[in-house]
Every structure is written in C-alpha cells, then in structure tokens.
Structure 1
C-alpha cells in the first residue's frame, strides 16, 4: 500500500484582468510545461478540474491541479517557479495554492 499524506492544490487562472476587462490567457504550451515538469520530478499522478472562481467582483474560470505526495517530496517549488516564470503572460497580481486545509496567496 502507498500512502500519499500531503495534498497540494494549485490554482491556475484561465483569464487575466487587463485594461478593466477579463481576457482569456493562451494556456496551450504553458499548462503542458507545468504538467511535464511535474511528471519529470515524479509527480505523474494528479488530477485537474475546471472551476468557476470569484475574486474582486469578477467571476472567471480556473484550473485546479491536485497533487498528493509523500511527506518527503513536494511539488510546491515546481508550481511557484512555473508561475513566476510565466507571470508576464498570466498577468496576475498574486498566485494561490492550498496545502492540506490551508489556502496560501503569494503576491508578486
């Protein structure tokens, strides 16, 4: 039996707020890069769900990637690095992720 004790949920917006309107983000290659990076580091079993989110009076779609991992291995730095590297495209003021039962928002 395998036990994966830690749960991470990465929030990936599919829209950016630019010039007072929501604009679709071109995610084709970006999301593929994150998935490949996770898989390359051994996180090859996770799930993704598209959800409606609400932030500052705006409703938009986002993808949640949920990864379960053992205590001695974390996908968090992969996600943080990916988000920071691509924020010139994602155009977000902050990014969010969950660890266990906690939501964490990091501003740029």
Structure 2
C-alpha cells in the first residue's frame, strides 16, 4: 500500500486584473507546461477543478489543482512555474494549500 500523506491545492488563475477589469488569460499552454513539469518529476496523479474565486471584491474563475504527495517538492515546482510565467499570468500574489494551511506569496514588490 502507498500512502501519500500531504494534500496540495494549487490555485491557478484564469483571469488577471488589468486596466480596472478582469481579462481572461490564455492558460492552456502554460498549464500544459506545469503538468509536464510535474510529470517529469514523477507527480502524475492529480485533479483539476474549475472554481469561482473572490479577491478584493472581484469574482473570477480559477483552476484548483489537487495533488497528494509524500514530500514537499510540489510546492517548489508550482512556485517556480508561477514566478516564471507571471509576465503572462499578471498576478500580484499566488496561493497554494498544503495540509490545513493556505500559503500566499506576494509578487508585487
């Protein structure tokens, strides 16, 4: 029996705030790159769920990527991918959950 004892939820935005409005992000290629990187590192099982998110009185769509693992490597893969692609994602912060905690990393400064 295999036990993967840490649950991760990675928050992937589908919109960015630009010129005082929500603008859709062309996420397909970027998401494929993230999935390929997880797969390359041996993380091949996860769930993708579309969700409504709320931030600063804005409602927008996002994808929640749910993954179970027995190490902390997934969070580093996600953080590196997010920072490398924030020129397209256009976010001021990004978030992921690990276990019962939510982590938010500020990208604004």
Unpaired stretches in structure 1, ≥5 consecutive residues: none
Please give the per-residue CA displacement for 1:24-67, whole angstroms capped at 9, x wherever unaligned: 00112100000000011000011110000000010000000011
Q: Is residue 100 of structure 1 aligned with residue 99 of structure 2?
A: yes
| Aligned pairs for 1:82-93 within 5 A | 82-93=81-92
Q: Partner of 2:73: helix, strand, or coil?
A: coil
Equivalent position of 2:45 in the other structure = 45
Please give the per-residue CA displacement for 1:6-36, whole angstroms capped at 9, x wherever unaligned: 1111000100000000000011210000000
Q: Shift of the alpha carbon at 1:74?
A: 2.3
Q: Is residue 81 of structure 1 aligned with residue 80 of structure 2?
A: yes
Equivalent position of 1:21 in the other structure = 21
* C-alpha RMSD of matched pairs (Å): 0.8
Runs of at least 4 residues off by over 3 Å: none
Equivalent position of 2:4 in the other structure = 4
Equivalent position of 2:60 in the other structure = 60
* Alignment coverage as a number of residue pairs: 107
